[in-house]
A and B are shown apart, each in its own frame.
Chain A
Amino acid sequence: MMTLSGAGRRRWGAVAGVLTGSRSTLIGFVLVGAHLVLALAAPVLAPYSPIVNNGALPIDAPSLAHWAGTDQLGRDVLSRTLYGGRLALTDTALATIGVIIVGTAVGCLAAYWRGWFDEVVMRIVDAVLSVPTILALLVVVTVAGSGTWVLMLAVTTVYAPAVARVVRAAALEVIPLDYVTAARARGERAFAVLSREVLPNILDVVLVETAMRASWVVLLISSLSFLGFGADPPSPDWGLMVAENRSMLAVAPWASLAPIIALATLVIGLNLAADGLAKSLGVDRMRGGVA
């Protein structure tokens, strides 16, 4: 799992080298970076409001005034897509952080305590993983209603178990080592042992997991909106945009195509970045038991 155990500073230097060394990794980070910049600058870059209808100009093909055309309500597709990036990135970041924090905490504790806690947690993980993701998510959303925080909760419920399993496997390799035993023999508390001794040594696994999960979360949130369980109109959510405009795919393909391209580039970018990270940090994702 850990091939790099050398000096910290040299290590990060080496990581930076690998990130820019492989072309696909570089493309991944450039794609994600571009999405971040565009989302941040959306209010400056967007030529029109993403919400306000323009009855005079529905379903207008791309032109100089509307680079990506307009949708059935006459809204500028480019502006909606740019603003949609803000939504997608914020939701993804929040949900991913939730997934990683819960998954890492549960995985570490299960590996540290073992016994009944580990047993119970892992059976719950098995149960959640055996239910199709989107189905599980629909159940949560149907029961708890919609809204950003419900969505975060739903995504965490669905993805944290997989993270917990990967982190647990990584922690189990570190915990029997003597430096962890030394900390336990000193009488350090579980939190101190895990945060001081274990976590720094499985950080590479957690980082790769974060990048990988983020790409899944983007897709999941968009899928929910597409199905009508996520964002509500007139929000410029990419999934929602595709759903709204799909009936006119033959007449006005631009209205669906722009959010699809945005979504695809973000997911591909995150995937390439995750793979690059995994390679440069020496994390074997197959052996890590990625579900």
Chain B
Amino acid sequence: MTTPLLAVDDLSISFGANGRTHHIVSNVSLRLGAGQTLGIVGESGCGKSTLAGALLGRLPGGTEVNDGRVSVAGHDLFRSSARQLRALRGGTVALVPQNAGHALTPTMRVGRQMREVLTLHRDLSGTAADEEAARLFAQVRMPQPEMLLTRYPHELSGGQQQRVGIALALAGAPRLLVLDEPTTGLDVVTQAGVLDLLATLRAELGLAMILVSHDLGVIASTCDRVAVMYAGRIVETGPTTRLYDAPGHPYTRALLASVPSIAEPGLPADLPGSPPKPGGTVTGCAFAERCPVVQAQCRTGDAPPLRAIDDDTRAACLRAEEVRDLPPERRPVHLRPEYAEQSTLVSLRGVEIRYRSGGPPTVADLDLDIRRGETLALVGESGSGKSTVAWTIAGLRAPSAGTVTFAGTDDLTRLVGARPASLRRRIQTVFQNADTALNPRRLVREAVGRPLRLFRLAGRNDVAARTDALFTDVGLDPSYQHRLPAQLSGGQRQRVGIARALAAEPDLVLADEVVSALDVSVQAAVLRLLDRVRTEHDSTYLFISHDLAVVRSIADRVAVLYLGRLCEIGDVADVFAGPSHPYTRLLLGSVLDPRPPASDMDGHAASRPVEEPESAPPAAGCPFQRRCPHAIEGLCDTATPPWRQTDTTHRIRCHLDLEDLARA
């Protein structure tokens, strides 16, 4: 038997605290041959990143290997000398860190950082090193690689920084690349570009890859095999497609069910609870607490062993065979309001918003109606101006032209300070980043109670009772209100943020990327919560997102923005049925569905992005002309495109007519 490129045998990693041993990684075994790809997936806190570090012989401070070994090309990493380890790292196995922007030294030119690696691992210097650096940058498809050598990291976009991080990892000509969340935090379109690059590199260089991610879609699009981690153990492993089609472990099944899909409408299933903290004593299966098919014997004895359930798939569940045969989860679709009877709540007409007076408009020529009782999704990449629109409605930024009215009468072009309290109360915001949306020095009770007092919605004696009710309403135990934000998980903080918005009894809730920073399982729960309270409180949502799958699951209507210009709008079902604006098609093609619909993928593949998002629109014509595969010279770059109305609620702003769009 030949030595595998990577062999992890029965690896356990723990840290000691308060005289006890807490396991972060338990009994993990992996094999990877040359050119193979493996995805490691799981929620935050399941030990994925610790395992990824261990594959390079690196452990977080205070932790140690209790048992087992990690061998790369036959060398045991934790028994190698520092010298051997240095040769192995970079030379045989290389890491692409989670946030390449932070991993690059800000004061050093990119070329010099690359030369350091080349000198260390390949003994290159002078022009030879420069030529090799340029070749590597070209290999990761950076435009103008020679120019890049003299750039500083901050002069590059997020996607470019990630590419430089990959190029640095490739510099030592490794045979195995370990990627820790390589696309987290990137825009969908940029993410698709980076993943595309990884697939190309794998084909060109025969690289083996281990990709750690919480995103099942990312893994599906890059990895042949997948290992699902839960509470420090691998609970299921097998070929990606087979595992995704018929998961044998209830955790895998629940994770898959929690991913919103662009292929089917309806809300994803939520997975209540959270992974156990390292250090808790668990008898039996660690997932038992959250498992829908748990039995008495799951809670006794040792953790269930990873056992073969067919020739290539192994799962750590006593009932894996039964779980595989369960029918797929049904996704509930909420009842859409009837628009014919709906009145308009917010109306934007000819709105233009500039960040600096005299500067280019961030949003221009925007006509948009938000109807009472609906969830309107505003979609686009970062920089598309979707948050700017929300800020204008919230009264934090005044439009430079156009009218914005609320309920037909109130003028929303006024800033928040000029609006009467009754109007301020009726528009509330839920923020993207639950970490910064709550004051770290104040109890969460105060965050929720403040609007009650400010808008006099509760008397002095009722505030506590109302706050209790609001916490219960968003699915939090009222005892949590005496905590500081740091003592809550991300999902719980987001629930507090929602409770704070609901406290004001708003008519309109502006939800700005509220689920994009959350784990999939938590994301599903928050989406369900939002949809439920929307119905119960009879309010209206402006839901801002870059993720079309999330939008499909919760929104009634979609509006697509590109560089602050509206390019498509309509009911969710109509927009997803097509035909689509070329930009919408680009966004759709970038969504990574763990279980891609078989027929659809070929059509999207053609519009795979090749470049970074733009920052400013062209002087005239269609804003999307420079990235559009169907741009017509002499037309798209001179004339503003007309609106095309389909026979449904769906409108597209494009020079191509509807038949051409359907064919394109």
Contact residues of B between 401 and 451, Cβ < 8 Å to A: 416-417, 419, 421, 424, 427-429, 431-433, 436-442, 447, 450-451
Q: A7-B486, A8-B484, A187-B417 are in contact. Are A182 and B437 (CB under 8 A)?
A: yes
Q: A8-B441, A197-B439, A200-B439 are in contact. Are A186 and B450 (CB under 8 A)?
A: yes
Instruction: Give CA–CA (A187, B437) in the complex, Å.
Output: 16
Q: Flag whether A130 is at the interface (Cβ < 8 A).
A: no
Please give me the residue from chain B that is nearest to A202 by CB atom: B441
Q: Flag whether B394 is at the interface (Cβ < 8 A).
A: yes
Which of A59-67, A98-106, A138-146, A173-181 lies at the interface with chain B? A173-181
Instruction: Give CA–CA (A43, B507) in the complex, Å.
Output: 68
Q: A184-B416, A185-B394, A200-B441 are in contact. Are A178 and B486 (CB under 8 A)?
A: no
Q: Which of B396, B421, B441 contacts A181 (CB 8 A)?
A: B396
Contact residues of B between 38 and 63, Cβ < 8 Å to A: none
Residues of A within 8 A of B431 (CB): 178, 181-182
Please give me the residue from chain A that is nearest to B390 by CB atom: A185
Contact residues of A between 116 and 175, Cβ < 8 Å to B: none
Instruction: Give CA–CA (A38, B158) in the complex, Å.
Output: 60
Q: A177-B436, A179-B437 are in contact. Are A6 and B451 (CB under 8 A)?
A: no
Please give me the residue from chain B that is nearest to A2 by CB atom: B440
Residues of B within 8 A of A265 (CB): none
Binary interface profile of A, 87-102, with partner B (CB < 8 Å = 1, else 0)? 0000000000000000
Instruction: Give CA–CA (A5, B439) in the complex, Å.
Output: 10
Q: Flag whether B250 is at the interface (Cβ < 8 A).
A: no
Q: Which of B429, B450, B486 contacts A185 (CB 8 A)?
A: B429
Residues of B within 8 A of A184 (CB): 396, 416
Q: Flag whether B454 is at the interface (Cβ < 8 A).
A: yes
CB distance from B173 to the nearest CB of A (A): 39
Q: Flag whether A201 is at the interface (Cβ < 8 A).
A: yes
Q: Are the CB atoms of B442 and A200 closer together than 8 Å?
A: yes
Instruction: Give CA–CA (A201, B485) in the complex, Å.
Output: 13
Please give me the residue from chain B that is nearest to A5 by CB atom: B440
Instruction: Give CA–CA (A197, B417) in the complex, Å.
Output: 17
Q: Are the CB atoms of B454 and A188 closer together than 8 Å?
A: yes
Q: A5-B486, A201-B439 are in contact. Are A182 and B454 (CB under 8 A)?
A: no
Contact residues of A between 185 and 241, Cβ < 8 Å to B: 185-188, 196-197, 200-201, 203
Instruction: Give CA–CA (A191, B623) in the complex, Å.
Output: 43
Instruction: Give CA–CA (A2, B436) in the complex, Å.
Output: 13
Q: A8-B441, A178-B433, A179-B437 are in contact. Are A187 and B424 (CB under 8 A)?
A: yes
Q: Are the CB atoms of B441 and A182 closer together than 8 Å?
A: no
Instruction: Give CA–CA (A181, B442) in the complex, Å.
Output: 16
Binary interface profile of A, 6-17, with partner B (CB < 8 Å = 1, else 0)? 111000000000
Q: Are the CB atoms of B395 and A179 closer together than 8 Å?
A: no
Instruction: Give CA–CA (A78, B428) in the complex, Å.
Output: 66
Binary interface profile of B, 624-646, with partner A (CB < 8 Å = 1, else 0)? 00000000000000000000000
Binary interface profile of B, 447-459, with partner A (CB < 8 Å = 1, else 0)? 1001100100000
Residues of A within 8 A of B428 (CB): 185
Please give me the residue from chain A that is nearest to B427 by CB atom: A185
CB distance from B229 to the nearest CB of A (A): 28
Residues of B within 8 A of A186 (CB): 424, 450-451, 454, 504
Instruction: Give CA–CA (A285, B236) in the complex, Å.
Output: 50
Q: Flag whether B225 is at the interface (Cβ < 8 A).
A: no
CB distance from B511 to the nearest CB of A (A): 13
Residues of A within 8 A of B442 (CB): 196, 200
Residues of A within 8 A of B451 (CB): 186
Q: Are the CB atoms of B436 and A6 closer together than 8 Å?
A: no
Contact residues of A between 42 and 67, Cβ < 8 Å to B: none
Please give me the residue from chain B that is nearest to A197 by CB atom: B439
Q: A7-B487, A179-B439 are in contact. Are A185 and B396 (CB under 8 A)?
A: yes
Q: Flag whether B89 is at the interface (Cβ < 8 A).
A: no
Instruction: Give CA–CA (A7, B488) in the complex, Å.
Output: 11
Residues of A within 8 A of B395 (CB): 185
CB distance from A218 to the nearest CB of B (A): 31
Instruction: Give CA–CA (A203, B431) in the complex, Å.
Output: 25
Please give me the residue from chain A that is nearest to B501 by CB atom: A182
CB distance from B408 to the nearest CB of A (A): 22
Q: Flag whether B500 is at the interface (Cβ < 8 A).
A: yes
Residues of B within 8 A of A8 (CB): 441, 484
CB distance from A183 to the nearest CB of B (A): 8
Binary interface profile of B, 492-506, with partner A (CB < 8 Å = 1, else 0)? 000000001000100
Q: Which of A5, A182, A196 contacts B500 (CB 8 A)?
A: A182
Instruction: Give CA–CA (A222, B416) in the complex, Å.
Output: 50
Please give me the residue from chain A that is nearest to B484 by CB atom: A7
Please give me the residue from chain A that is nearest to B417 by CB atom: A187
Residues of B within 8 A of A197 (CB): 439
Q: Are the CB atoms of B486 and A6 closer together than 8 Å?
A: yes
CB distance from A148 to the nearest CB of B (A): 36
Q: Are the CB atoms of A187 and B416 closer together than 8 Å?
A: yes
Q: Are the CB atoms of B440 and A201 closer together than 8 Å?
A: yes
Residues of B within 8 A of A6 (CB): 484, 486
Residues of B within 8 A of A179 (CB): 436-439, 447
Instruction: Give CA–CA (A179, B493) in the complex, Å.
Output: 12
Please give me the residue from chain A that is nearest to B442 by CB atom: A200
CB distance from B204 to the nearest CB of A (A): 43
Residues of B within 8 A of A185 (CB): 394-396, 416, 424, 427-429
Q: Are the CB atoms of B441 and A178 closer together than 8 Å?
A: no
Residues of A within 8 A of B436 (CB): 177-179
Please give me the residue from chain B that is nearest to A181 by CB atom: B396
Contact residues of B between 272 and 316, Cβ < 8 Å to A: none
Please give me the residue from chain A that is nearest to B431 by CB atom: A178
Residues of A within 8 A of B500 (CB): 182
Please give me the residue from chain B that is nearest to A185 by CB atom: B394
CB distance from B448 to the nearest CB of A (A): 12
Task: Count chain A CB atoms within 10 A of each CB in B428, B441, B450 and give the residue with the most.
Answer: B441
Please give me the residue from chain B that is nearest to A187 by CB atom: B424
Q: Which of A187, A188, A201 contacts B441 (CB 8 A)?
A: A201
Instruction: Give CA–CA (A7, B447) in the complex, Å.
Output: 16
Q: Are the CB atoms of B419 and A187 closer together than 8 Å?
A: yes
Residues of A within 8 A of B416 (CB): 184-185, 187
Please give me the residue from chain B that is nearest to A188 by CB atom: B454
CB distance from B419 to the nearest CB of A (A): 7
Please give me the residue from chain A that is nearest to B500 by CB atom: A182
Instruction: Give CA–CA (A201, B440) in the complex, Å.
Output: 8
Residues of B within 8 A of A201 (CB): 439-441
Instruction: Give CA–CA (A181, B396) in the complex, Å.
Output: 8
Residues of B within 8 A of A181 (CB): 396, 429, 431
Instruction: Give CA–CA (A142, B419) in the complex, Å.
Output: 50
Please give me the residue from chain A that is nearest to B421 by CB atom: A187
CB distance from A280 to the nearest CB of B (A): 17
CB distance from A51 to the nearest CB of B (A): 48
Task: Count chain B CB atoms within 10 A of each CB in A5, A6, A181, A186 and give the residue with the most.
Answer: A186
- In the complex, 27 of the A-B residue pairs with CB atoms within 8 angstroms, ordered by the A residue number, are A2-B440, A5-B441, A5-B486, A6-B484, A6-B486, A8-B484, A178-B431, A178-B436, A179-B438, A179-B439, A181-B396, A181-B429, A182-B437, A184-B396, A185-B394, A185-B416, A186-B450, A186-B454, A187-B416, A187-B417, A187-B419, A187-B421, A187-B424, A196-B439, A196-B442, A200-B441, A200-B442
**Known interface pairs A187-B417, A187-B424, A196-B442; 18 further A-B residue pairs with C-beta atoms within 8 A, sorted by A's residue number:** A5-B440, A5-B441, A6-B486, A7-B487, A8-B441, A178-B437, A179-B438, A179-B439, A181-B431, A184-B416, A185-B395, A185-B424, A186-B450, A187-B421, A187-B454, A197-B439, A201-B440, A203-B441
Q: Which 8 residue pairs across A and B have the least CB separation, nearest first?
A: A200-B441, A178-B431, A178-B437, A187-B424, A5-B440, A177-B436, A179-B439, A178-B436
